[in-house]
C-alpha cells in the first residue's frame, strides 16, 4: 500500500515516529468513506503477549485499533451532523472515531495523555486532508480549560476505577447542555457497569449491543448514549 502524500510538518512527525516504531497506513472503509490511519505495524512485538484485561494499568491501549473504536466510528457516521457541532474524543488513541467525525463535518478535538499518541493522530489527520482537527493533551486528573462540546465520544476508555469520578467531572464540565456522550466498550470490560451506575446520577443512559468479527473471535461491543438529566441540564 502506497503512503499518502503528506505536508512537510506531518512528514517530519512521521519521520520522528519511525525512529521509535515500525508504522504503516491502513485504510478503513466506513459507510462509503475511506480513512487512512497510521498504525504500529509490529504490534505483537510491542505488546509482547500481554493480555489487555489482565493488567490494564500497564497496557498501551492506544496502540491498537479496537473493535469498539470501529463501531463507534460507524455510529457517528450513521447520524446527521448538526451545523457547527463540536466533538471531543477522549482517550482517542489512533483516533479513528474522531477522524471519521471530522470527515463528516464535525469540528473535532482529539485528545490523549501522551504527546506521541497525538503525533499519530496528527499524521493520520494530514493523510486524510483534515486540516481543521485540534489535538489536546488532557490529563483527566488535571484537565485544562476547554469550551463545552456538543458531542463527547470515547472507545475503550474505562479501565481504572480511580479515574471514574474525574471522568464524570470532565463529562459534566465539558458537555454542552443538550449534548450527547457516546461510549463504546467490549462487553467483557468489567469496569463499565460500575461506571454507568455512578453516571446514572447525572445522565440518562441508553444501551445497545453490536457484534463485529475480531482477529480470532466475534466481539460484542456495548454502545452507550449519555445525556444530561433534565434537572442537571437546567442547572448548567
| 10 Cβ contact partners less than 8 Å away, ≥ 6 residues apart | 122, 123, 126, 127
Q: Which pLDDT tens digit goes with each residue over 71-104? A: 999 999 999 988 889 999 999 999 999 999 999 9
**Domains of the chain, with CATH numbers?**
8-235 (3.40.50.150)
Q: What is the mean pLDDT of the chain?
A: 91
Say whether pLDDT at 57 is over 70: no
pLDDT band at 51 (very low <50, low <70, confident <90, very high): low
pLDDT band at 16 (very low <50, low <70, confident <90, very high): very high
Note the pLDDT of residue 108. Answer: 98
β-partners of residue 109 are: 88, 134
pTM above 0.85, yes or no: yes
Say whether pLDDT at 1 is over 70: no
pLDDT band at 233 (very low <50, low <70, confident <90, very high): low
Instruction: Output the furthest CA–CA distance in the chain (Å, rounded).
Output: 53
Yes or no: say if 115 and 138 are a contact pair by the CB < 8 Å rule.
no
Note the pLDDT of residue 236. Answer: 63
Q: What number is the average pLDDT over the span 202-228?
A: 92
8 SS3 class: helix
Q: Which sign does the torsion angle of CA 188, 191, 193, 199 carry?
A: negative
Q: Cell numbers of 212, please?
A: 463485529
111 closest CA partner among 76, 71, 143 = 143
pLDDT band at 235 (very low <50, low <70, confident <90, very high): low
Say whether pLDDT at 53 is over 90: no
Q: Cell numbers of 151, please?
A: 458531542
Phi-psi region of 80 (alpha: psi -120 to 50; beta: other; left: phi over 0): beta
Q: What number is the average pLDDT over the span 193-206?
A: 96
Note the pLDDT of residue 50. Answer: 62
Distance CA 97, CA 164 (A): 22
Note the pLDDT of residue 189. Answer: 84
DSSP 150-184: EEEEEES----GGGHHHHHHHHHHHEEEEEEEEEE
Q: Which pLDDT tens digit goes with each residue over 138-178? A: 999 999 999 999 999 999 999 888 999 999 999 999 999 99
Amino acid at each position: 500500500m502506497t503512503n499518502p502524500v503528506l505536508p512537510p510538518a506531518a512528514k517530519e512527525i512521521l519521520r520522528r515516529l519511525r525512529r521509535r516504531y515500525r508504522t504503516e497506513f491502513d485504510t478503513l472503509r466506513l459507510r462509503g468513506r475511506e480513512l487512512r490511519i497510521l498504525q504500529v505495524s509490529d504490534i505483537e512485538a510491542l505488546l509482547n503477549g500481554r493480555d489487555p484485561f489482565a493488567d490494564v494499568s500497564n497496557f498501551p491501549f492506544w496502540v491498537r485499533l479496537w473493535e469498539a473504536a470501529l463501531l463507534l466510528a460507524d455510529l457517528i457516521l450513521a447520524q446527521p451532523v448538526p451545523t457547527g457541532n463540536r466533538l471531543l474524543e477522549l482517550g482517542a488513541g489512533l483516533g479513528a472515531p474522531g477522524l471519521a467525525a471530522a470527515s463528516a463535518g464535525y469540528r473535532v478535538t482529539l485528545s490523549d495523555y501522551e504527546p506521541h499518541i497525538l503525533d499519530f493522530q496528527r499524521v493520520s489527520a494530514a493523510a486524510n486532508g483534515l486540516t481543521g482537527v485540534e489535538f489536546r493533551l488532557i490529563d483527566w486528573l488535571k484537565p485544562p480549560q476547554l469550551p463545552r462540546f456538543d458531542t463527547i465520544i470515547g472507545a475503550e476508555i474505562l479501565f481504572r476505577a480511580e479515574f471514574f469520578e474525574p471522568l464524570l467531572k470532565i463529562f459534566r464540565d465539558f458537555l454542552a447542555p443538550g449534548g450527547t456522550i457516546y461510549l463504546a466498550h467490549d462487553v467483557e470490560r468489567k469496569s463499565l457497569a460500575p461506571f454507568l451506575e455512578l453516571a446514572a446520577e447525572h445522565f440518562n443512559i441508553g444501551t445497545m449491543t453490536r457484534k463485529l468479527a475480531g482477529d480470532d473471535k466475534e466481539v460484542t461491543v456495548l454502545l452507550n448514549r449519555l445525556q444530561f438529566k433534565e434537572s442537571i441540564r437546567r442547572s448548567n
